[in-house]
Amino acid sequence: MDKIRQFRVTRDNRGGVEYYAQASDTRDGYYYATGNDYHGAGTFSRHLTAEEWQEAIRIATWDGEVHTVSVEEMDEAYSRAGIEIAEPQVAEVKQPGWVRKNRKGQHCCRCGRWVEAGQGHLFFVGDEDVQFGPAGWLVQCLDTDECMKIADAKEAQKREKEEKLQARRDDEVDWEAWEEFFDKTQYTT
């Protein structure tokens, strides 16, 4: 049985009372306490079970009345009713037993090495996920640790090269020497 997320009491101008409840998994339904032209008294519709309706009404009842309970007030209503809220169970995500392998040779999108056919993981990158470059089918090496080492080494080389280039750019330039050089090398006619 899922936790009740919200509970609403509706009264019409003819004295009819109906309850609306929504479970944490978004299933919802109506309970017709007094009945109306279409539903008998004590009947419920939609996706909630009789046990869930009993719990919902018990949670929303205090001081002898059934109250509307918003999403923000639901934890307080559970504690008022003396019902323990079970912590949600987090499912462990497992990798599928099968992995798509590349049928053609292609460069690894991480380290750039050539991956022969059948030696890499094949995956698709859509237009909204273009962190690896262009969208489409990409390949990664099967040996992830080795691939990451190579990718990190390449990134370190790239950073080192960029730092050397920036250091050359930042060196002081002797502009007077350049002006003399240009003056001597200019051709006059």
pLDDT band at 1 (very low <50, low <70, confident <90, very high): low
pLDDT greater than 80 at residue 16: yes
Question: From its phi and psi, is residue 48 left (phi > 0), alpha (psi between -120 and 50) or beta?
Answer: beta
pLDDT greater than 80 at residue 122: yes
pTM of the model: 0.42
pLDDT greater than 50 at residue 67: yes
With beta carbons less than 8 A apart as the criterion, state whether 123 and 136 touch.
no
**Cα angle 76-77-82, degrees, rounded to a multiple of 5:** 95
Q: How many CA atoms lie less than 13 Å away from 21 in the CB half-sphere?
A: 29
- Tokens standing for 52? 């869930």
Tell me the pLDDT of the chain averaged across its residues: 79
With beta carbons less than 8 A apart as the criterion, state whether 83 and 94 touch.
no
Q: Greater confidence, 144 or 94? A: 144
> Which pLDDT score, from 0 to 100, does residue 86 have?
62
169-185 pLDDT tens trace: 777 767 777 788 878 77
Name residue, tokens 């002081």: 172
**How many other CB atoms sit within 10 Å of the CB of residue 77?**
21
